[in-house]
Structure formats: C-alpha cells, structure tokens
Structure 1
Amino acid sequence: MNTKNTAFATAIICWQKRYGRHNLPWQCDNPYHIWLSEIMLQQTQVTTMLPYYQRFLRRFPDVHRLARAHTESVMAVWSGLGYYARARHLHATAKIIACKGFPQNAASWQTLPGVGKSTAAAITIFAGGGHHAILDGNVKRVLTRVFAIEQPTNKAATIHTLWKLADSLLPTHNIKPYTQGLMDLGATVCVRVSPRCEACPLSKQCLARQRGIERRLPHRSPRPIKSVRHIAMALIYHHNKVWLQKRPHAGIWGGLWSLPEKEATADLRDYCCKKFGDTLTPREEMAFTHTFTHYHLHAKVLCYACYKPPTSSPTAKWMQKGALADAALPAPIKKLLLAFFAP
C-alpha cells in the first residue's frame, strides 16, 4: 500500500476511534447479532432499522429460535421494514446455520441466501476475523467523492473500479476500526445531501471537494420515470374480522397477508360475487397510494360488510382486528385496516 493509501486508512482509523459509533447494539462478538444487523441494514438506515432489530431479537433471541419459527411469525416481526425477501432469506439461512453452525469465512457466508460479497465481508470482519474490503452504499459514497469518480455508480464498470480501489486501500492492521470508520463516515459526515466536509478527516485528500463537485457525487445514470400502477382491492369484513389472502412469495409483499386484489374494479367485483355470493353489502370506498422503487401504486379499495362468512383456508382467512397490529401485513395495508377498525 503506497503512502497516500496509508494516509487514507490512518485518517479513517484515528477518526473512528474518536468520533465513530461505538455503542450500536450489534457491536459485539455475537455472530447472530452481527449477521442480523447486516441483513437489516441492506437498503435501510440505522435510525429506521434499530427498533425492528430490537423487536426481532426479543422475539428470536438466537439463531435456533429463528430457525424453528414459522415463516409467518418471522414475516410478522419484519412487517414494515420492507424488502421482504431479506426476511425470507434470513429465515432460510437460519435453518442452515442451525444445522451446520456459523460460517468461518467470507466465502462460506457468501454461499448463504441473501448474503452478497460486501455483506459477507462485513460479517466476517466484525465477527472477529477476515481481511476484506466492503462496498456498501456509505463506502461507495466516500470513495466516489475522495477520488472524484464521476462515472455512474450503478454501472458494472464503475462497481468493478470501486472494488479494486477498496481492495487497494485496505490497511494491514486495524481492519475492524477501519471498516467501521468507513461506514460511520459515510453515514454521519459524508452524507448524500449536504455533506459535512468541515468535519471530515479526508477533506484535504478529497478530490471532489477540491474541484467543488462533492454535492453532485456519487453520480448515477438517470432512472426511468416511475410508472403508475392502478389496482382494486376488497376490504371485506364481518363484525370485527377482515378477510385476507396470502400473497405468493414472488413479487411485492411476498408471503404476506393482504386484501384480495385485482387489476380492475370489474374483476374484483366478479371475484367477490363468485367467492361470497349475495352475502356482501357494499359500503364506502377508500383509496391509498404507495411508492415502490420502480413505480407508484394507486389502490382503490371497495369495502363490503359480509353477513355469512366463508371458512378459512391455508391461503385465505379471517383475521380479528385485535391481531392486525402484530400480523404479517404490508405496512400500507396494516395502516389502512387499523384506521378502518379504529373506534
């Protein structure tokens, strides 16, 4: 590692010891806690993730408890955190670990569901071993600015360049405080909007700051304008119960319970007629909007009172209003139903 790269690592390590985050609950030697935190932090900031992390550990305090849990229980505790494939992968990985033990190196971690190259490296480092580079969103932002990388960071060639750079910057020793420092710096100082350059230990090295372009980096190729999808949903209730259907694992809200859904209002009414016959009485209509990564969802919700409910099945059931708050429901559906049944 050359002198410039040594200065980079030294600055990060010294800064982390004085200003970095030292009291996060997963900063320990417990590989279960470390793995759980790294999965939850994918696509999610610490402030958002922290209450979910704490709630998850209260419900599943160790990997064996998680491995034995029913999938629906896992999804219920995860509900609201989004990107639900993470929860399914977490549960699948727990079953593997419960049988084979925790992996001992990054390569083994990377073979497990939901664990990519950077996540595997981070888990290995923080669990007490390994000498690897990581490249999460915070680290990408720091490297892109310090070295003034103007190529779009959502391009494969740029990612390849960033990985090579991250590998070249690794110090020989103190890999844990270095890695934690890079993540902390990106999360608290080299933030996406309004970076706090005056507080950055790399400000004198930062090429983006020298050129006055730090606020427009990292650069990403323009995303397509989000499309709008319109759907119709049925809120069918019987006294204090609501009719829910299990969603398929593929697609949005995979594996969660939700309201019956069709692409068109006419199709939804046809479903209700075939499923419930003349036992439904139309009530008010409702609506909500929810934004996903690639599109906006506009849902029209038709409400019906049911006086002769059908029996439940593995993929469709009645749920008491008192169970909604802790159920495996998509966040906007839970919010809608809690408001609907509110006194």
Structure 2
Amino acid sequence: MTPSPTDLPALRAALLAWFDRSGRALPWRVGPEGGRDPYRVWVSEVLLQQTQVARGRVYFERFMEAFPTVEALASAPIDAVLKAWEGCGYYARARNLHRAAGIIAQEGFPAHYAGWRALPGVGPYTAAAVASLSGGEARAVNDGNVRRVLARLGGERQPTERWVQARADELLDPARPGAWNEAVMDLGATVCTPKNPKCPECPVSASCAALASGDPAAFPAPKVRAEVREVRAVALLLGDTQAAVLERREGTLLGGLMGLPTQLLAPDELPAAALERLAARLGARVTGELGTVTHTMTHRRVTLSVYGGEGGPPRTPVAAEALSRLDHKALALWERREGSLFAERKS
C-alpha cells in the first residue's frame, strides 16, 4: 500500500514536523539543512555502513581529529589512515576514502549524485545521502532503516531492493530531500525499530499498513542470512604487546593492516602441523600456547590458536601500527597470561 497523492502531503508534513522536533543531534550534521559539510557527511556515511551510530560517533570524532579536512586526509600516508580507522573493520572503506580524498583534493567536491557515484568506494546509497544532505539534490536513500520503515508503511513482508527504492523515490519530499532522508533514517533508528516498535510515538502510524495488520514487528520478514564459514588458523607472537613481529595482511577484509604472523589450517589439519610450517617460515621456535580467540567478520568466523615463540625477524612497535580486532584479541592473551604470572609470583 502506498499513500495516495492526496495523503502524501500530510504524511510528509507529519514526519518532517516530528524530525524538526526530535531529530538526533549528530556530530556530522553540521551546516544548514541541505547544505551540510560534504566532507563530514561523506566520512560519516562510509563509517556507518557497517557500524552502529553509538560506536560510530566515537570513531567519527577520532577520525575527524586526525584528518579535519579532505586535504589532510588526501596528504596522509595510508598507514596513518588505517591506524585512525582501527577498530572500525572493513578496511577497504578506509583505503577507498583515502583514494577518493586524493581526487577531491585535486578536483573539488562533486556537485551532484553522478560525481559522488564516480568516486572509489561510493555506492548508490552513499552518493544519494551525500548529494541530498550536502547539496540539496532530490535523491532518496535506501538503507536498513529506510527498508524497514517503508516495508511497514506499505505492508510489504519481503521488499526487494527495487521495491524499496521505488517507494523511497515516491515518498521523497522534493522541497526538503535532505531532511526527509534524515527523518526516515531517524524514525527507523529510534521509533520504528526491528523489535518492539514504538508505534504510539510514531508520527505516521495512521498511514502504517503493518500497524493496521496488528503485528507491525512481522514486517519485513527476516532476511535469509548467508551461512557462516568456519576458518581455522594459528598465529605466533614473537615479542610482546609493546614490540612484536608483524606482517602486512592481504585480502579485501584486512588488506593493508599489520598483524601477527598467521598460517591457515588445511581441512582436517591439526594446529601443530600448521604451526610447524609457520615457525619454519619465520625461523622461530615455539615456546608454548597462549590460548584461542574467535572473531566473526562478514560471513566468516575465525578461530585463531595463538602461540608464543622466540627468534624470528626483527620486532616492530605495536602501538604505531593499525591492527585488526582479531590481532588485538590475540595480544590480549599475552597480557592475561602475564597478569596471571605476576599474581602467582606476588602470592
């Protein structure tokens, strides 16, 4: 169900009035409506693709402190950018931000959606968000919050991407596109939540087909999640949390980061065999097991058995490098062991 042309102005007015009263005060919402700071909007939208707002605010402020302007980001070494991005995950986003910043520093910020879309790492959602929020362009955004709000308004249990985008385009307020996009996202984040939606507080509940059905939380139906693939590996800590042997990661998820030397296990392989190969490659000697950590990223769950050792290549200062959460978990095993040993010695 889509609001009729006669109902649409009232729905827009109700949601925008609610947003004017109750919109979230967020650090990237700097500047007038439709004329937000494009740099802050762009960085925030990229950051929030895989990060919740509460945590994203902390990361955003840290990133802005390190690179307050697009010129500062463009001129920074990629290692410094990855370090500032540390903990945010999905590091390809940081690498694309750095590449795109170099283009913007030379050519200026894009004036329209197509210009944003042409930048490295900028997809349809990000381009629509930045174009509408910073340029006032009439582009409707489509993210998880928008999908949920529109599915409930329209009574659609299994909305396709095409369906959501079509509904978003229909409902978009052409006079206030940036505010409308922010309003729909805020409604989904604070009122029209996945579980236990606060329907009595919703400014557009009178137009909601899901509420009229009696079970608004049933809309949309849960997405079918891809199966999580199990990955097993061993890591060797040569050094400590201050200085250790580190290697450059490869691949799309962690590529560019530094981390403990690791070795993937073949199917049905025992950790001891992989550890032997790893130690031989490094010219190191294994001294004992520190423990096991797990970490889930995208559709992979990594189980990492961590061992201590001696010898091997020169150590690197750990604090100066950007490490993944998986490596921080691995280093924490050493800290816990040292703390336990200190307690034993003290007693």
TM-score, normalised via structure 1 length: 0.88
> For the Cα contact (< 8 Å) 1:6–1:169, is it kept in 2?
no
Query: Residue 204 of structure 1 aligns to a residue in which SS?
Result: helix
Deviations 1:177-232 (A, max 9, x none): 22211111111111122211111111111101111232122224422442322111
The equivalent of 1:185 in structure 2 is 187
Which one-letter code corresponds to 1:5 in the other structure? L
**Which sections of structure 2, spanning at least 5 residues, go unmatched?**
266-270, 340-347
**Which sections of structure 1, spanning at least 5 residues, go unmatched?**
312-317
The equivalent of 2:306 in structure 1 is 301
Which one-letter code corresponds to 1:79 in the other structure? E
Which one-letter code corresponds to 1:337 in the other structure? L
Q: Tell me whether 1:286 sits opposite 2:287 in the alignment.
A: no
Sort the Cα spacing of 1:225 and 1:128 in 2 relative to 1 into closer, same or farther, 3 A. closer
Deviations 1:300-343 (A, max 9, x none): 1121133xx434xxxxxx2235x2xx531001212331452466
Sort the Cα spacing of 1:175 and 1:30 in 2 relative to 1 into closer, same or farther, 3 A. same
Shift of 1:165: 1.0
Shift of 1:83: 1.5
In angstroms, what is the RMSD of aligned CA positions? 2.0
Query: Residue 99 of structure 1 aligns to a residue in which SS?
Result: helix
Identity %: 35
Write out aligned runs for 1:1-343 (5 A): 2-28=5-31, 29-151=36-158, 153=159, 158-237=160-239, 240-248=242-250, 250-264=251-265, 265=271, 266-276=273-283, 280-306=285-311, 309-311=312-314, 318-321=315-318, 323=319, 327-341=321-335
C-alpha distance in 2 between matches for 1:203 and 1:223:
29
Aligned residues: 324
Sort the Cα spacing of 1:36 and 1:229 in 2 relative to 1 into closer, same or farther, 3 A. same
> For the Cα contact (< 8 Å) 2:241–2:331, is it kept in 1?
no
C-alpha distance in 1 between matches for 2:69 and 2:199:
40
Shift of 1:12: 1.1
Sort the Cα spacing of 1:235 and 1:7 in 2 relative to 1 into closer, same or farther, 3 A. same
C-alpha distance in 1 between matches for 2:275 and 2:258:
17
Sort the Cα spacing of 1:18 and 1:270 in 2 relative to 1 into closer, same or farther, 3 A. same
TM-score, normalised via structure 2 length: 0.87
Sort the Cα spacing of 1:27 and 1:243 in 2 relative to 1 into closer, same or farther, 3 A. same
